[in-house]
Structures are given as structure tokens and as C-alpha cells.
């Protein structure tokens, strides 16, 4: 099963390098871009049109504000937010509302989140669009 296109915009650099080392050799992952910082994420997503975005997570209990904007504009996008300091990661996607799952912060956890993320099909986008029209 092909995971798809992944854009990595995680910080700090060490975390970004670890994520890239984890996914770079996977044949079912196509890394379509790497961001130095999170300031240009929106433009990078707009240009690369990834299936997945991997970003840094500042606080495990708070959804990054960029997730709301990105998932509103790109509802197909799946966002994996990783936090090295607390050894945690969260997976965000849009349905009728933004949701998340706790992810094991390990190579297996990251790959598992990316692979299971494809199980949330685009029909959720259709449902979301219908609810906006009403």
C-alpha cells in the first residue's frame, strides 16, 4: 500500500533529521519537501500538495493553530505533529471536526500513523462540504 506524498516541516533540525531518517528509505513514502521552519508551511503545502505533513508539536495538550487553517483549506491533508521533549506525537485530520490520536513516538509509531492515516478517505470531505452548504 502506497502511503503517499509527505512534507516534513518539523523543528528543531535534529527532530526533522530523525523523522527524515525514519521515512526516507520507505518505498511507499514520497518525501515531497523539507521545511527549515514552520513559518512557510502554508505556502509549502499549497505548492507540494502532500498527503501528509509532519510538523513540530509545542505542547502535547494543545493542537497547533496552523492545523485549523491547513485542515480548513486542505481537508485531505493528514498532519503528524511530533514533540521530542515529551516523547509524544499527535495525528490530526479533518472530518466533520478536527480529530487526533496519540501516537507512539518511535519509528514504528510514526510509520504506523502514516500508514493508518490513509484509512480516513475523502468521503469525509464530501460530508464536511455538505454540512457547510446547509
List per-residue pLDDT tens for the chain, 134 residues long: 678 999 998 777 888 888 899 998 899 999 999 987 667 899 999 999 999 999 988 776 788 889 999 999 999 999 999 887 778 889 999 876 667 788 888 999 889 888 886 554 444 434 434 444 44
Q: For 57-71, give the DSSP string.
A: -S-TTS--HHHHHHH
How many degrees, rounded to 5, is the angle at CA 15 between CA 95 and CA 38?
55
Annotated domain spans of the chain = 4-133
Query: DSSP class of residue 50?
Result: -
Strands 78-83 and 52-56: parallel
Facing residues of 80 across strands? 54, 91
- Using an 8 Å Cβ cutoff, are 78 and 91 in contact? yes
133-to-11, 58, 75, 110 alpha-carbon distances in Å? 37, 34, 16, 35
The number of beta carbons lying within 10 Å of the beta carbon of residue 113 is 21
> Model-level pTM?
0.69
Determine the Cα–Cα distance for residues 113 and 107; give it in Å rounded to an integer: 10
The pLDDT, as a whole number, for residue 96 is 63
The pLDDT, as a whole number, for residue 68 is 92
CATH architecture of 4-133: 3-Layer(aba) Sandwich (3.40)
Q: Which residues fall within 8 angstroms of residue 89, CB to CB, at 6 or more apart?
A: 57, 80, 81, 82, 83, 102, 103, 104, 105, 109, 110, 113
Amino acid at each position: 500500500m502506497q502511503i503517499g506524498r509527505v512534507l516534513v516541516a518539523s523543528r528543531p533540525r535534529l527532530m526533522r533529521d530523525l523523522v527524515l531518517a525514519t521515512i526516507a528509505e520507505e518505498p511507499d513514502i514520497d518525501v515531497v519537501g523539507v521545511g527549515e521552519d514552520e513559518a512557510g508551511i502554508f505556502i509549502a503545502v499549497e505548492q507540494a500538495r502532500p498527503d501528509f505533513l509532519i510538523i513540530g508539536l509545542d505542547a502535547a495538550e494543545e493542537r497547533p493553530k496552523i492545523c485549523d487553517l491547513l485542515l480548513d483549506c486542505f481537508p485531505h491533508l493528514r498532519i503528524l505533529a511530533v514533540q521530542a521533549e515529551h516523547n509524544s506525537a499527535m495525528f490530526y485530520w479533518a472530518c466533520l471536526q478536527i480529530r487526533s490520536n496519540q501516537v507512539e513516538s518511535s519509528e514504528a509509531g510514526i510509520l504506523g500513523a502514516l500508514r493508518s492515516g490513509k484509512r480516513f478517505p475523502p468521503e469525509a470531505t464530501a460530508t464536511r462540504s455538505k454540512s457547510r452548504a446547509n
